Structures are given as structure tokens and as C-alpha cells.
Amino acid sequence: MGSVGNAVTRRAIFELDTKTIFLQYRRNLHHTVKPKRLFLVHLTVKRIMLVTFWNNFRYSFYMRFTLLLWLFLWFPFSGNTQNLVPCHSFESPTHCPPMNSLFNNIKPWYTPTLSTTDWFCNCRSTVNADVWIPINFGGYQQAADGNCYAGIFGYSEAQPNYGEYMEVQLTAPLEKGKTYTVAFYYNLANYSDYALEKIGVWLMRKEYNNQHLISRPPFTPTLTNKEPLQNDTVSWHLVQESYTAMGGEKFLMMGFPPKVDTVQLYGKNFPVRRQEDRYELMPAKSAYYYIDKVYVGEQDPEWPDSISPSAKANEIVKNQEPVITPKQEFKVNEVVTFKELNFEKNSYKIMSSSYRELDRLVDYLKKNPSYSIEIRGHTDSDGDDASNMELSQQRAKAVALYLESNGISPNRIKYKGYGETMPLVPNTSKENMLRNRRVEFVLRAKNN
């Protein structure tokens, strides 16, 4: 290590940094606090931090080892094998999927349409959830890499025009005339009754983002797989194609082509759950695919053609009786009370623990576009009538807005607050009052 050079560089960075901070202090705090004094405090803290870092590096074996290991691991990837796809394996060191349908949480990926692409992880908070790994609403599958993968609907007989998509900005645009390798793994989910032949990859100069569109984007993919997709629900399979760039392609989109030509009935036995146990998020007569490890780069990534779950994983498939999320079937005209919906105290702000239940409803409404919904807010008898009426109205409205902001048309949503006028039980005990504080919904068939 050239200590003199490093010291000079560090000093230069240090001075640049402190100058910026000083300017910020002047901009933000002038007239209110004495900036010079604050600046001096900051400077001292920074100095202490630098000294601590240096001492750690000199004396701590662990820190030196970690830094060297990091450098060692980084070097082989800094050459031409660089993958231009950020977050290529859908892993997040900090986040877990909070619920289904929220693919946008695995940044920088996002859904280019209103379709509800899924993100699955083996995280503590997803155990037994619809988006857990290995068991989830699509069936059973380990990640091809790491702890997470994505999932997209390819086809559903009930909604042939519905398809799910995902998009990401590449870390650098493609260069004109250069040939790139595009590769990724896919796996047909167990509960698919159908399998598709082609999957599409779009490489685009401009971002495709149509948050009004629930059906397939209307243009054909930049490339599709030459060999038909394999109808295998056990192993991951690789799609790898090459592509000569026009230059400037910056966005990658994945999903199924606008016209699904070949839909094959997939007739094998389902290895995990019986078909009648299938969760409602997985409608009958549809095709669902898991996606993991996406690559766009100049070199062949030299990935194996398929990745099979380990023998141990297969053992789990055989022995484990999976926990099944109760099948959710809503009946038209039936009053349903939200079970997981909670608001902050005396407020109409929805707590995040409620999103899961709300999202299921969103999903249900999307898959049943002929239904409309009425939301009814109720309170207990605590507090005065008028403010209870107002609070119940606001809470019902908050639910309506949530549905709306997740793509349900406001034409399909009605809401109303009933205050304390419609108790389920007399407001005579804490338990009874808790039952009376509730939000309900009723599904209506159109023109009803």
C-alpha cells in the first residue's frame, strides 16, 4: 500500500467533503445556529471516524481480511463478464416481499404495466405466506440462485389477454454492432395447467411504462427462445440467446409475447399439493413461470443448462404437508369484515400490516373485473356521534383510495361511513367494542 499517496488522496477527499458540508451548513442554517461551531463539531467527529478506521485496519485482522476478500472477489467480475442487469437474481439484503403483487419492492426492477408481477423470497416474514420459498401459491421451488426469485403469469384461459411483465434499466446502454448474450432461468410453476412455448425479452432504447394497461404490451419482443420452453416443474432451465445491438438499448423487459400462439395443456401430476387445494391466486387453466438470474453481457456467462433442486429439497417435497392459505372465495352480496385491516389510533391511516389482506382483495377484484365493491366503515360507541361518523367515513374512504391506487377503477368502488349506528353486538365490553370497530365490504355484480 502506498501510504503517502493514499494519505494525500484521503486528505483531498476529506477536504472536499468538509467543504461541501460547510457550504450546506451555511445554506441551511444561516442566521439560526452558529454554523462555524457546528462545523467544528462535525469536523472533529469526522476526524475521530477516520482515525478509528485507520486503527482498525492496522490492528484488526478481521477488517483486513474482509477488505482483501472483497477485493479478491471483485476482481474477476470487473472484466468483460460484467452483467448489465442490476439486481439480476432478485435478491435484497434489506427487504422481504411484504405481500404478493409488490414486485416493485425489489428495486430497481418494476412492473411496466398494471400487471401484478410477483417477488418470492425465503425470508422470515414470508414463511407460510403466498410468496415464500420454497412453498408458495404457484407450487414448490427453490431459488436457482440465492434466496429469491420473480414470478409472472403467462396465460390464463379466463383472461387470455392478461400477462405479467417486469422491467429494469441496464447499468449501461448496449453498444451499436456489439453482440450480447441474453440469459435467464425459468421454471414452470407446479399449479400451471398450461405451458407456453415462447417467452419474450425486449431490449429498448426507451422505457416502456404504461400504468394504465392491464393487458399485454402490443409490440413483439426483441428476442424469444429458439428452443420451446420445457414443461418441467422440477428443474430450472436456461434460456440463452445472442443479440446484436442497434446501440443505445437501455431497458430490459421480460414477459410473454403479445400474441400467445402456442398454449399447451400440461398434463402431469402435481407433485406438491392436490389440484383442489390450489390457492385462489393461482386460477385454473393458467400458466405461471418463476424467473431467476437474468444476464445481459458481452461474454457467455457459462451457466449450466439446468439447475435441479438438491436431493434434500426433493425429500422435502415428498414429506412436507404444506401449510395452505385458506382458499378465499367471496360471494356476491355477502358482507365480509376485514380481519387484518388496522388503522393507527384515532386516525384513518392504514397500518402496513393490513396491506396483505387488502392486496388479496385487489387481486381478486382484478381477476373478477365484473364485480364492484361497497366499503362500509363502523366505529364503537366511544366518543361523540359526529366524530365517529366522520372517522368511519374517512376509514372507508382510505380503503377505497388504497384499492384505487392499486389499479381498481373508482367507478367500481363505493364507500360510506356508518359511525356507531350499526353495532354488531352491544357496546358493553372491550371485546364487543373491538368487534364493532370494523370495516366491511360487499361485492356486487355489475348493474346490481
Separation CA 296–CA 306 (nearest Å): 18
Q: Are 181 and 153 in contact (CB under 8 A)?
A: no
Amino acid at 107: K
Kindly tell me which of 25 and 140 has the beta carbon lying closer to Ca ion: 140
Least distance from Ca ion to the Cβ atom of residue 204, Å: 24
Least distance from Ca ion to the Cβ atom of residue 321, Å: 26
236-244 vs 179-188, strand pairing mode: antiparallel
Report the 10 Å Cβ neighbour count for 275.
12
Contact call for residue 143 and Ca ion (CB under 5 A):
yes
Site track for Ca ion across 242-281, x = CB under 5 A: ----------------------------------------
Least distance from Ca ion to the Cβ atom of residue 138, Å: 15
Kindly tell me which of 193 and 292 has the beta carbon lying closer to Ca ion: 292
Separation CA 107–CA 226 (nearest Å): 30
Stretch that binds Ca ion, among 14-22, 203-211, 279-287, 291-299 (CB under 5 A): 291-299
Q: How many CA atoms lie within 13 A of 260 on its CB side?
A: 24
Least distance from Ca ion to the Cβ atom of residue 143, Å: 4
Least distance from Ca ion to the Cβ atom of residue 90, Å: 5
Least distance from Ca ion to the Cβ atom of residue 235, Å: 15
Instruction: Find how far residue 105's CA is from the centre of its chain.
Output: 4
Residue with the closest Cβ to Ca ion? 89
- Show the beta-strand stretches assigned E in 7-156: 118-121, 135-136, 139-140, 148-156
Least distance from Ca ion to the Cβ atom of residue 188, Å: 17
Stretch that binds Ca ion, among 145-153, 296-304, 317-325, 401-409 (CB under 5 A): 145-153
Stretch that binds Ca ion, among 82-90, 104-112, 114-122, 159-167 (CB under 5 A): 82-90
Least distance from Ca ion to the Cβ atom of residue 183, Å: 14
Contact call for residue 89 and Ca ion (CB under 5 A):
yes
Q: Are 245 and 223 in contact (CB under 8 A)?
A: no
R_g of the chain computed on alpha carbons:
27
Contact call for residue 292 and Ca ion (CB under 5 A):
yes
Stretch that binds Ca ion, among 193-201, 218-226, 286-294, 307-315 (CB under 5 A): 286-294
Contact call for residue 294 and Ca ion (CB under 5 A):
no
Give the angle subtended at the CA of 254 by the CAs of 252 and 255, to the nearest 5°: 160
Q: Kindly tell me which residue out of 39, 82, 87, 146 binds Ca ion, with binding defined by CB under 5 A.
A: 146
Stretch that binds Ca ion, among 42-50, 87-95, 154-162, 432-440 (CB under 5 A): 87-95
Contact call for residue 106 and Ca ion (CB under 5 A):
no
Kindly tell me which of 145 and 357 has the beta carbon lying closer to Ca ion: 145
Sign for the pseudo-dihedral over CA of 280, 281, 287, 288:
negative
Q: Are 139 and 117 in contact (CB under 8 A)?
A: no
Q: Are 377 and 416 in contact (CB under 8 A)?
A: yes
Contact call for residue 388 and Ca ion (CB under 5 A):
no
Rounded to 5 degrees, φ, ψ at 8 are -65, -45
Stretch that binds Ca ion, among 124-132, 135-143, 255-263, 325-333 (CB under 5 A): 135-143
Contacts 24+ apart (CB under 8 A), 74-83: 80/297, 80/298, 80/299, 81/297, 81/298, 81/299, 81/301, 82/171, 82/297, 82/298, 83/295, 83/296, 83/297, 83/301
Q: Kindly tell me which residue out of 81, 95, 105, 145 binds Ca ion, with binding defined by CB under 5 A.
A: 145
Least distance from Ca ion to the Cβ atom of residue 348, Å: 38
User: What's 336's DSSP letter?
Assistant: E
Contact call for residue 148 and Ca ion (CB under 5 A):
yes
Separation CA 416–CA 11 (nearest Å): 64
Binding site for Ca ion (CB under 5 A): 89-90, 143, 145-146, 148-149, 292
